Structure 1
């Protein structure tokens, strides 16, 4: 086949699959290529957001707090059934369109806007007016003695199907490590987190991070800071992690080890240089504000382009590229403000915008409203559902009364943060949120009280 296609999408992630469907419905001839049939639909529904949150839910609702591998196995089966259903739906949504060719195989560039696809012994060459690189990211594995995924050593993907460990060491106290530590502790594992920083969750204000760490301690998670891992070993019976803490070497033994040190753009095997596509210093595909790469007609969307690694950002990438292809070409990443995110600890921590520490470091004139959830009289919902832990902290510009950022750790925070983010995008003053009418009993109504009590 020669250059008869309008669009080729490499990778089935959120942005790519959405763009492929929309372009096909707009009359364009599209091919979408996925390396594995187990990844139709992308990372989120197969190994990321959806399956991990399904496991977290099942971990939270179980009545017993002891170790129960049978319960975990049942939760994994539900997880697998859910992802299989969503994977099949995602495939059919594109495969059912006459203008879309769905291909399972590994794609690599062989020239400008030309790719080769290998599927076993078969190969196929395709060309298109535009190509989208949408290959996502993979867990980052450090150059560390023994840090190889396999056996008792896991990344965030493989641990989801490992036998439930009685003891688990998590290397990394960031967002992924914290979330998995909370999850497995709720399943009954004894969890130890090793973080090389002075404190875990270093991007959060100290009082907010303290609330998360307190919730982890409630389920027995031990966090060891200033712990620089030097070596990982495993045998038939256990895994051992050696680390330096305060100038002294220590060793901890566990049934399993999770390496949770972030994710890195998945560009291996794409042969990007054949198309003149450059990478950034961090290994991401280099793009401009409209997600164009250094090769004409080639775009990069989602985690592979080095932007925030969230499914909803990938979806917004789709909007930018769609506007470039069919619209005005004015949309860009510069349009994005107040992008929220959530760590699904128990209860979840949701954040948007600036922290207090960051705002003060920037020399901004701010006022801060902060209250622990247990002290908020006008927020009965957490008490109703039996978990009144957490904190609400809002950073506001002292002159304009515009919200600059918020950290919410409480029941339903993953929902409430979207309202705060919308208010930030629309320039709504904190007083308007303070005086808004919210349903009762809800978690949102806490804003009435918290935003009426600035403490500093």
Structure 2
């Protein structure tokens, strides 16, 4: 039996960060990872970093014609970047004296005991504290032909597939929209099959329309109200059959991306053997301190069913670390105004409530909204050559506090952090409006936009 103070299952953002902190605090740590290609977690290997590297390569092109050679070079750049980060992340833990890295598949055999299997070899590991950080995997729809092979891909496999001249994206959520935008800029003809009545159905219609317009401008076709029924493929192509308004139709392409969401990665863990409860959606059930139904066993990141963002996993680390080494005051209820960005071109960032949500919640609201091209005090998008987009801010009329914002423009992924910080600390819309910003920057748009609150 290999005994440790802490056992971490999975190399995600939360797990790797807390493993390093605990090791530097003198704790013995076992780090278990099923794949040597996933040191550092999904973010740096298959998700945030590699996809944004591919998006950047697509955006810096002067022409958006179909160019497989350029895509191949972009993938090579992506691989070089992720390879270096993976090596660095491995060393950040493996080089610590009190950390032992185990390569293999982990399975619970008791509440705090796991068997780690690698090929024909197996060993047992136990810890006073166990942290589950196995992340999530792309969800597959329950329809004929929806298996990842050949010309049918998920968001991971498509990154290393040949550049498709024609791509069908099944799903109009964040991942589907982001990939559609990216591949359109590489010259692919992209069709998005979305079961909702319009793209980005959960967002305000004026904001969603602006995002959709940027994709249509890049050559993306949206098919709304499409219920996918089956997928078939041969050596030459793949065909997706869908139903729309009671009629059956189909679309054929070189590749199909299944992008309908992600599922917590718990299948291999044998959680029942440890008595660890799960939710109806298969996530590890946790309390506000991220502790599971088994005392001393915690779950961090996507696997616990919370928001599927790397920075949430990092905040999970803060909560659990405070529980293990601090006063245990931090909880998930502390989270206010968590921002998000879809890296379309230009990026779409948001925080808090939409206008529709704010009104439905009973707020008396004021709204400021303006197209980026019409904002005189925001020259930066024009300087970099992309003045598309919209800025919308929703404010409580009585308190002047921000309820939410949606930003579609160059640099929105940065500006949204300023807005979220203002929301968390009660900075009023008037204060944001009258703040001094650098020039030329995208933040200074708030001077002009918030002056138009009505």
- TM tier relative to shorter chain: over 0.9
Secondary structure class of the residue paired with 2:322: helix
Counterpart-to-counterpart distance in 2, 1:414 and 1:384 = 18
Secondary structure class of the residue paired with 2:37: helix
Counterpart-to-counterpart distance in 2, 1:108 and 1:219 = 46
Counterpart-to-counterpart distance in 2, 1:269 and 1:260 = 22
Deviations 1:4-58 (A, max 9, x none): 3110000000000000000000010000100000000000000000000000000
How far residue 64 of structure 1 moved from its aligned partner, in angstroms, is 1.7
TM-score (norm 1): 0.99
How far residue 189 of structure 1 moved from its aligned partner, in angstroms, is 0.1
Matching residue of 2:407: 408
How far residue 296 of structure 1 moved from its aligned partner, in angstroms, is 1.4
Matching residue of 2:107: 108
How far residue 103 of structure 1 moved from its aligned partner, in angstroms, is 1.0
Q: Does 1:387 align with 2:386?
A: yes
Matching residue of 1:265: 264
Q: CA RMSD in A?
A: 0.6
Matching residue of 1:368: 367
Counterpart-to-counterpart distance in 2, 1:289 and 1:365 = 31
Secondary structure class of the residue paired with 2:441: coil
Matching residue of 1:339: 338
Counterpart-to-counterpart distance in 1, 2:63 and 2:259 = 27
Matching residue of 1:311: 310
Matching residue of 1:96: 95
Secondary structure class of the residue paired with 2:145: coil
What is the correspondence of 1:79-228 to structure 2 with a 5 Å cutoff?
A: 79-228=78-227
Counterpart-to-counterpart distance in 1, 2:61 and 2:388 = 19
Counterpart-to-counterpart distance in 1, 2:134 and 2:364 = 42
Counterpart-to-counterpart distance in 2, 1:161 and 1:239 = 17
Deviations 1:160-197 (A, max 9, x none): 00000000000001110000000000000000000011
Deviations 1:80-114 (A, max 9, x none): 00000000000000000000001110001000100
Deviations 1:233-255 (A, max 9, x none): 00011000000001000010000
Matching residue of 1:54: 53
Matching residue of 2:31: 32
Counterpart-to-counterpart distance in 1, 2:242 and 2:93 = 48
Secondary structure class of the residue paired with 1:228: strand
Counterpart-to-counterpart distance in 2, 1:65 and 1:117 = 47
Deviations 1:125-149 (A, max 9, x none): 0111000000000000011111000
What is the correspondence of 1:239-278 to structure 2 with a 5 Å cutoff?
A: 239-278=238-277
Deviations 1:283-325 (A, max 9, x none): 1000000000001110000000000000000000000000110
Counterpart-to-counterpart distance in 2, 1:58 and 1:269 = 36
Secondary structure class of the residue paired with 1:452: helix
Deviations 1:329-357 (A, max 9, x none): 11100000000010000000000000001
Tell me the number of residue pairs that the alignment of Structure 1 and Structure 2 aligns: 454
**Any stretches of 5+ residues in structure 2 without a counterpart?**
none
**Any stretches of 5+ residues in structure 1 without a counterpart?**
none
Matching residue of 1:234: 233
Q: Does 1:354 align with 2:321?
A: no
Secondary structure class of the residue paired with 1:328: coil
How far residue 363 of structure 1 moved from its aligned partner, in angstroms, is 1.2
Secondary structure class of the residue paired with 1:108: strand
Matching residue of 1:43: 42
Runs (4+) of structure 1 exceeding 4 A deviation are none
Counterpart-to-counterpart distance in 1, 2:31 and 2:241 = 44
TM-score (norm 2): 0.99
Deviations 1:342-401 (A, max 9, x none): 000000000000000100111111110000000100000000000000000000111110
Counterpart-to-counterpart distance in 2, 1:103 and 1:184 = 37
How far residue 200 of structure 1 moved from its aligned partner, in angstroms, is 1.4
Secondary structure class of the residue paired with 2:452: coil
Counterpart-to-counterpart distance in 2, 1:219 and 1:453 = 31
Secondary structure class of the residue paired with 1:77: helix
How far residue 268 of structure 1 moved from its aligned partner, in angstroms, is 0.8
